[in-house]
Amino acid sequence: MVTLLERINEVLFAAVLIVSFSLLAYIVLQNWRSDIVRALGVLLAGVIIAYSGDLLLARAQRPETVEFLGRAQWLGIVLVPAGYIHFANALLAFGNANTLAQRWRRSVYLAYLGSIIIFLLVALGTNLVIHTGMPSGPVAQFQAGPLFWFYVVFFVVAAATALIAILTVRRSALTPSQRRRLSYLSATFAAPGIGVFPFLLVASPSAAPISLILALQAIASVIVIVMVTIMTYSVAFQGMLIPERLIKQDFVRWWLYGPFVGITTILFIQAVPVIAQQLGLPPETLITFGVMVMTVLMPIFVTQAKPYLDALIYRQDHSEIDYLRNLPRNMFTRADLRALLENSLVAICNPLGVKTGFVIAPGEDGFSIKALWGSRREVRRFVTEHPIANLIPQLDAMPYDASASLDSGSFVVIGSFCLLPLRSPDGVFLGAIGLEATPEQLQRNGGMSTEMRRMVTGLAHQIELALTTAQMQRQIFDALRGLAPEMQSLQQLSSRLEQATPSTLNAIEDDIVLHPDFPQLVKDALTQFWGGPKLADSPLLGLRSVRRVLAEQGGSPTKALQAVLRQAIANLRPDDQIDPSAQEWLLYNLLEGRFLRRQTVRDVAHRLAMSESDFYRKQRIAIEEVARQILLMEEHEYENSTGRR
């Protein structure tokens, strides 16, 4: 029985390690700038160190190894009370109990100093805190020293301090969701303490059977796994301005890919010797096959489980999320469009005996060749002699009759090519199919027979449908890009309101970047960058980043706002190694030329080789990027001002 319980405890120690390390890595990557998260990181680090010592001690054989590991493990044991005091102070600062938090800030440094002193007393081999006792199996290796009771008082005070801080902040919480998270936290904050406190130094192991002690250790490990997960979820994302549904989704996925896979692997490895003994096979053989099977099955299981977990997370938004999840498979992308145009062009040219053809279609930079079949040299020569920009008006001016049948008169002869205009059902010009042949050649090759006309007409209609669909998708995506700043502002406003306290409500109301018309305010300020009422009286003068540089600009709010706008544009400047024709450079050059150099729309459009209508579309996208950069700058100032780094 004792042997079985020892094996169970080893598995659970490893499970606690995997869960704690996974959660620590996750919160560090996601929200390390938050002081609450840094304090939580200290608590998790203490759990990791303490349980690492327990796992190694269970296998240690030599007395000197036991002595070293038992003392080294105290680094984690002494970190937890200091982490609790740090955690309490960070929570009070987050709840804007500033006076109390500042008063306790010094206690954080004293707590860490006291922890270091206690650890040094242990690590240096003194018997003031602990001393080597009579080893009795897997549970009792040390006895309490005279200063151990000082550590117990320190631990209890630290844990009580954390609980008081949680209850204080919970009373000031305004929203049900924040109170719910703090209730979770108050119920689970003791997890690190349960995991690391050396209970056996307080109660002698001889007072209870070894099997009972091992069973209680196993139960405690399970409790720690559950509680530390809930505790981390409760506070790890405080200060992050993203919807709770995204927090839940990211957290669950991380738990699946990290702790779940790790614990399953540990359980399998621990079960291998038993299975190998029953089957009479070498354990190494089973491990090889097991690793092969689990490498394949675990990703499949996680992938299959994710939709069901998402369904629990998105109970109210299930239909929308399902649609968005399948959207990438149903989209008609640029690659899909190119493939359809090329295949349709081949299907038209081959039966007609045409050796070279192309399709002209619109894109982000105007009309261009989107598909080509045959000789690239001939197409390049044709485009050189007849620029596409000159062909479009001529093709667009052709009479359109949706009921007219396709014949040789439907083509426009330009040079050595016949061009067939493509139109949407309501007659909007979409592009053209170009075939290297004359109408007579098409007629002579049998291209205008009834069957051939039906085939070419059908393929042309498919191309028209594809171009119409691609154009509609582009308009939808442009609309979504235009809504992105507003949606982001609304999400951030919702998150701040969810985490608000009475003292932060006024700050939220005055936060300009959360207003839905923030991008328009940025556009107005850029339009009158060099002077005007939209700059001098802009609400953007209240930005934190503007107030920060006010002194550097001689106390002039207008100059400070100009400096912030100039910095936001400079942040958009791409790396010199990026292709000068890339979208990033186009947007940056547009902003610099139009607003910083005061060039006219015509001059900037000419320099960037685009039409004026395309210029205004690009300018809207560029201004949205400037607004996004200012938003990032404001978030940085907000984090600095509140200490959430």
pLDDT of residue 122: 84
Is the pLDDT assigned to residue 405 strictly greater than 70? no
**Residue 420 or residue 497, greater confidence:** 420
Is the pLDDT assigned to residue 401 strictly greater than 80? no
> 243-256 pLDDT, tens per residue?
666 677 777 778 87
Mean pLDDT in residue range 54-60:
79
Handedness of CA 218, 224, 226, 227 (dihedral sign): positive
pLDDT of residue 45: 93
> 33-52 pLDDT, tens per residue?
778 888 999 999 999 998 88
Closest CA to 238 of 190, 158, 178: 178
Q: How many CB atoms lie within 10 A of CB 144?
A: 18
Q: Rounded to whole angstroms, how far apart are CA atoms 232 and 26?
A: 10
Contact (Cβ atoms closer than 8 angstroms) between residue 113 and residue 106: no
Tell me how far CA of residue 52 lies from CA of 10, 46, 78, 363, in angstroms. Answer: 10, 10, 15, 59
Contact (Cβ atoms closer than 8 angstroms) between residue 241 and residue 500: no
pLDDT of residue 245: 67
Predicted model pTM: 0.59
Residue 125 is encoded by which pair of tokens? 């081999």
In 329-428, the DSSP E strands lie at 357-363, 366-373, 412-414, 417-423
pLDDT of residue 645: 42
Sequence-separated (6 or more) residues with CB below 8 Å from residue 343: none
**Residue 324 or residue 45, greater confidence:** 45
Fold classification of 334-472 is: Beta-Lactamase (3.30.450)
Burial class (CB within 10 angstroms; exposed 0-12, middle 13-18, buried 19+) of 531? exposed
Domain boundaries, the chain: 2-240, 242-326, 334-472, 500-642
pLDDT of residue 217: 83
Largest Cα separation within the chain, whole Å, is 109
Cα 540 to chain centroid distance, Å, stands at: 28
Indicate the pLDDT class of residue 365, thresholds 50, 70 and 90: low
Q: Rounded to whole angstroms, how far apart are CA atoms 618 and 408?
A: 40
Mean pLDDT estimate for the chain: 78
Tell me how far CA of residue 425 lies from CA of 204, 429, 462, 469, 639, in angstroms. Answer: 88, 10, 12, 12, 54
Indicate the pLDDT class of residue 644, thresholds 50, 70 and 90: very low
Is the pLDDT assigned to residue 578 strictly greater than 60? yes
pLDDT of residue 633: 82
> 204-233 pLDDT, tens per residue?
555 567 777 778 888 888 999 899 988 888
Q: How many CB atoms lie within 10 A of CB 11?
A: 19
Fold classification of 2-240 is: Rhopdopsin 7-helix transmembrane proteins (1.20.1070)
Q: What share of the chain is helix, strand, coil (3-state, %, to 5)?
A: 70, 5, 20
Is the pLDDT assigned to residue 316 strictly greater than 60? no
Q: Which of 269-283, 352-366, 596-610 has the lowest mean pLDDT?
A: 269-283
> 543-574 pLDDT, tens per residue?
888 888 888 888 888 888 889 999 999 988 88
Complete DSSP assignment for 482-533: HHHHHHHHHHHHHHHHHT--GGGHHHHHT-GGGSTTHHHHHHHHHHTTTSSH
Indicate the pLDDT class of residue 136, thresholds 50, 70 and 90: very low
